[in-house]
Chain A
Amino acid sequence: MNKFLRYIGRRLALLILVLIGLSIITFTLARIVPSDPAAVYLGPRPRPEQIAEIRIKLGLDKPVYVQYAYYLRDLLHGDLGTSIRTHQPVLKSILRFLPASFELMLTAIILALIIGTLLGVASAQKENTLIDHADRLFAVTGVSLPAFWLGLLFQLLFFRWLGILPLGGRIDIYVSLFSPIKHITGFYVIDSLITGNWVAFKSSILHLILPGITLAAYSTGIIMRMTRATMLEINREDYIVAARAAGIPERTVVFKYALKNAMAPTLTTAGLAFASMLTATFFIETIFYWPGVGTYTVKSILLNDYPVIMAVTLVGALLYVLVNLVIDLVLVFLDPRIRL
């Protein structure tokens, strides 16, 4: 346990270094804006004295390293800047939109983990049979589909032609008017479930299906590939061969002995896939009118709202790094073979 704590300490120290690196990159990006940040802040045709004033206010008259120190100080105070478009603190907006995006991302990663792992196991068990080929084709299709296009096709098929699923949004507008959801966690499915609001529960589940599947497609593909590759390797290990030879039921061998050890790379892949999904939500939320971080960011991109773009980039990278860390710690906990 002592060792484990020391490992966490080392990882956290490393995390701080990475975070400093991240802040340097976003800071540099924010400074290479071709137009003067002061001009962006003031809008079109500002007076020269206004520019001078705002430059002092934004600290642009100071040397670069002082500017970076200010930037770091603001970050540490949780100040990710102010949106040019809405004049709201960016962090506040991101936190408001994050539950919607997380609800979608969690749905997608759960779908991807279940389907991807099962297909991967099936594929490895039936190596080089028709099932294997079909599974692999499915996986390579998943990683080759442009998500935003897949979303449009789903809308066309399930909304326009079959008429069984909604076009977009998080919940039916009438449902939100007549049986509104009480905000507790910000996840509509959970909030409506614990308040017993069945109409809203059904509506929010229906609205999750298409964007959830669209977002899951890519991750399902890579999780399936990873599981297949690992399972094939493990199937050749002595302890599995021995277990089979001893006549232990195949199901026990596969799910209890083999899969358990194959889960480490699969979980790492899933973690990275989950963190990358934040970028994928830019496309999928736009297509499905989902009011989350993705929609918010795309709107900001179209209007050159730099503070928002930089803040979302930083948050996305932070999520990426943190998920990585958490997965590594979980693996240490799950797999006693990992020595610290």
Chain B
Amino acid sequence: MKRLKKNFYRGGRLKEYRRSLHFFLKNPLTILGLAIVISLILISIFASQIAPYPEQGRGISSVKDRLLSPNYERLFGTDNLGRDILSRVIFGSRVSLKAAVVVILIVVVIGTPLGIIAGYFGGKIDEVIMRMSDMVLAFPSLLLAIAIVAILGPSLMNAMIALSVPWWPWYTRLARSQTISLRERQFVEAARAVGVSNFKIMFRHILPNCLTPIIVQATLDMGYIILSLAGLGFLGLGTQPPTPDWGVMISKGRSFILNQWWFSTFPGVAIFITVLGFNLLGDGLAEALNPKRRK
């Protein structure tokens, strides 16, 4: 009987996943997003193999080639230090993706447990955690990040820390609301009845059931984080030269925009496509995994 029930449960779940997958694959925009994200990951892994001038991509200048317009050999042209912009853009994907993933990991690892604890115990603990997150959320997130990094000093590391500070409360809220809805469910009650510790209930039983919305949110946030990182780079608060960074490249190309249009344009295209990819993928995931949103 027990096994039968388990299989039945599994079958239902599998069906649900298959339905989600169906909705996921039906939307052409989602497929486009997925394709963009996968290509990006591949490009950043194989940057040294793909980039035509890998050493320039990493930052070695070649002054005799400065400010060449795009041509067959240099598809995206060169910058004011003679570096191949295509190679710089390719290596820039590495920096952006890595930094964004780190920020997302930090906020998920900090925000989720806090949310589960707040939702599970309720009462005073809940009150303290939620008031803390409310305080942080009272700031526009990018503004707080700029203030923090301006004070810590400009570097990629500090930019990542600065972006994490205003961001974790979103995951706390998400995990908390999930936990509250799960707290009274039978499997949790059952676990409690047989004497499973609170810690184990929270992280072995509740956490896995919170993961779906968190993954969707993380995908959607990737785009925003990459955009914010580029913004911090543009203000000179993020990655420092000669490390390739899309935001820094746009900022450096700004004084050349009227005559050497390619300098700022191509790094911007890279940011746009990347963020677009994550947004499309995140929207598709949200729609496929949330039965309420599909029609």
**Do they bind each other?**
yes
- Chain B, 253-295, contact with A by CB distance < 8 Å: what is the 0/1 string? 0100110010011011001100110011001000000000001
Could you tell me if A278 and B140 are in contact, using CB atoms closer than 8 angstroms? yes
Q: How far is B263's CA from A156's CA once the two chains are assembled, in angstroms?
A: 12
Does any Cβ of A come within 8 Å of B29's Cβ?
yes
Smallest CB separation, B47 vs chain A (Å):
21
Does any Cβ of A come within 8 Å of B223's Cβ?
yes
- Chain A, 148-168, contact with B by CB distance < 8 Å: what is the 0/1 string? 111011011001100000000
Q: How far is B227's CA from A306's CA once the two chains are assembled, in angstroms?
A: 25
Could you tell me if B231 and A146 are in contact, using CB atoms closer than 8 angstroms? yes
A144 with B272, Cβ < 8 A, contacts A283-B231, A302-B236 known: yes
Could you tell me if A313 and B147 are in contact, using CB atoms closer than 8 angstroms? yes
- Chain B, 24-39, contact with A by CB distance < 8 Å: what is the 0/1 string? 0000010000000000
Could you tell me if B271 and A320 are in contact, using CB atoms closer than 8 angstroms? no
Q: How far is B257's CA from A159's CA once the two chains are assembled, in angstroms?
A: 11
Does any Cβ of A come within 8 Å of B86's Cβ?
no
Smallest CB separation, B258 vs chain A (Å):
5
Does any Cβ of A come within 8 Å of B144's Cβ?
yes
Q: How far is B143's CA from A312's CA once the two chains are assembled, in angstroms?
A: 9
Does any Cβ of B come within 8 Å of A22's Cβ?
yes
Considering the complex, which residues of chain A in the window 22-36 have a beta carbon less than 8 Å from any beta carbon of chain B? 22, 24-26, 29-30, 32-34
Considering the complex, which residues of chain A in the window 210-230 have a beta carbon less than 8 Å from any beta carbon of chain B? none
Q: Which one, B8-16, B66-74, B150-158, is touching chain A?
A: B150-158
Q: By CB atoms of chain A within 10 A, which of B138, B148, B227, B258 has the most?
A: B138
Within 8 Å by CB of B143, from A128, A278, A287, A298, lies A278
Q: How far is B137's CA from A21's CA once the two chains are assembled, in angstroms?
A: 11
Which residue on B lies nearest to A15, using beta carbons?
A: B138
Could you tell me if B138 and A21 are in contact, using CB atoms closer than 8 angstroms? yes
Which residue on B lies nearest to A33, using beta carbons?
A: B151
- Chain B, 234-247, contact with A by CB distance < 8 Å: what is the 0/1 string? 11110000000001
Smallest CB separation, B240 vs chain A (Å):
14
Within 8 Å by CB of B151, from A128, A278, A279, A309, lies A309
Chain A residues with Cβ below 8 Å from B134 are 18, 21
Does any Cβ of A come within 8 Å of B135's Cβ?
yes
Which residue on B lies nearest to A30, using beta carbons?
A: B151
Smallest CB separation, B286 vs chain A (Å):
11
A301 with B237, Cβ < 8 A, contacts A144-B272, A155-B258, A278-B140 known: yes
Does any Cβ of B come within 8 Å of A80's Cβ?
no
Smallest CB separation, B274 vs chain A (Å):
8
Which residue on B lies nearest to A232, using beta carbons?
A: B295
Does any Cβ of A come within 8 Å of B114's Cβ?
no
Which residue on B lies nearest to A155, using beta carbons?
A: B257
Does any Cβ of A come within 8 Å of B142's Cβ?
yes
Smallest CB separation, A297 vs chain B (Å):
8
Chain B residues with Cβ below 8 Å from A91 are none
Could you tell me if A279 and B146 are in contact, using CB atoms closer than 8 angstroms? yes
Q: How far is B36's CA from A144's CA once the two chains are assembled, in angstroms?
A: 13
Does any Cβ of A come within 8 Å of B230's Cβ?
yes
Chain A residues with Cβ below 8 Å from B146 are 279, 282, 301, 309, 313
Which residue on B lies nearest to A236, using beta carbons?
A: B295
Q: By CB atoms of chain B within 10 A, which of A30, A140, A144, A145 has the most?
A: A144
Interface size in chain A (residues, C-beta < 8 A): 51
Chain B residues with Cβ below 8 Å from A301 are 146, 150, 235, 237
Could you tell me if B235 and A310 are in contact, using CB atoms closer than 8 angstroms? no
Smallest CB separation, A284 vs chain B (Å):
11
Which residue on A lies nearest to B257, using beta carbons?
A: A152
Chain B residues with Cβ below 8 Å from A159 are 258
Which residue on A lies nearest to B268, using beta carbons?
A: A149
Could you tell me if B280 and A140 are in contact, using CB atoms closer than 8 angstroms? yes
Q: How far is B139's CA from A317's CA once the two chains are assembled, in angstroms?
A: 5
Could you tell me if A32 and B280 are in contact, using CB atoms closer than 8 angstroms? no
Does any Cβ of A come within 8 Å of B250's Cβ?
yes
Which residue on B lies nearest to A309, using beta carbons?
A: B150
Chain A residues with Cβ below 8 Å from B275 are 143-146
Chain A residues with Cβ below 8 Å from B140 are 275-276, 278-279, 316-317, 320
Within 8 Å by CB of A146, from B144, B153, B236, B268, lies B268
Considering the complex, which residues of chain B in the window 41-69 have a beta carbon less than 8 Å from any beta carbon of chain A? none
Could you tell me if A143 and B147 are in contact, using CB atoms closer than 8 angstroms? no
Within 8 Å by CB of B135, from A25, A32, A150, A316, lies A25
Q: How far is B143's CA from A130's CA once the two chains are assembled, in angstroms?
A: 37
A146 with B272, Cβ < 8 A, contacts A140-B280, A313-B143 known: yes
Chain B residues with Cβ below 8 Å from A275 are 140
Could you tell me if A141 and B276 are in contact, using CB atoms closer than 8 angstroms? yes
Which residue on B lies nearest to A218, using beta carbons?
A: B227
Chain B residues with Cβ below 8 Å from A136 are 29
Q: Can you give 10 A-B contacts (C-beta < 8 A)?
A: A18-B135, A22-B138, A29-B147, A32-B151, A143-B275, A145-B275, A146-B234, A279-B140, A313-B143, A317-B144
Residues in A lying within 8 Å of B, measured CB to CB: 18, 21-22, 24-26, 29-30, 32-34, 127-128, 133, 136-137, 140-141, 143-146, 148-150, 152-153, 155-156, 159-160, 275-276, 278-279, 282-283, 287, 298, 301-302, 304, 306, 309-310, 312-313, 316-317, 320-321
3 A-B pairs with least C-beta separation: A149-B268, A21-B135, A144-B275
